[in-house]
Amino acid sequence: MRADPKSVPVIPEKIILGIDPGTQIAGYGLISVKGGVMSMIQYGVVELNKYSTYQLKLQKLFDTILRLIDEYHPDEMAIEDPFFGKNVQSMLKLGRAQGVVMAAALSRNIPIVEYAPRRIKQSVTGNGNATKDQVSHMVSHLLREDLQPKFFDATDALAIAVCHHFHENAIPVVSNKKTKKGAWGAFVSENNDRIL
């Protein structure tokens, strides 16, 4: 007896665009999630160091992100949260790059979620102090892809997308134990609206 094609449930697919913004090299990674299974669609880098002015770099970054959005139609964007460093000029430039990436997503009504670098590493490797090589290796394993470690900005972007998938679909576990800030207890207290 053949199943009626109309009665077969359609498993929705979600496409997540992860961005690791930078002022010299920016990474991007697109993953698909269908039935809880992640797969890589595309990853790469935008080389900005060849442009002579900062305005040209920002324009190239904006145009590339917009092209990726228009080509792959992601449902959501995940981006690395700004980190605080000692070099104010570097932070300012990075903030501008992040703003341009976010503006591209907002111009297409794509929701944006930001994650701290430590949270991304913790989500993907289980270690908030993991090296870029460890992150790349784990992302390769999770996506079942042979990724090129020379593109650390791109594998970092994939890690951001994977982190978003994990946090979006995680079922928080509530316990009576006191937890450190950044652990599941903190996640639960910060995301009460996600508790089922």
Catalytic residues: 20, 80, 153
Selection from 55, 69, 174, 58 nearest residue 112 by Cα: 69
Query: Using CA atoms, how far apart are residues 136 and 51, in angstroms rounded to an integer?
Result: 27
Radius of gyration for the alpha carbons in the chain, expressed in angstroms and rounded = 18
Greatest Cα pair distance in the chain: 68
Amino acid, res. 34: K
CA angle 164, 99, 168 (to 5 degrees): 10
CA angle 17, 75, 110 (to 5 degrees): 85
Amino acid, res. 40: M
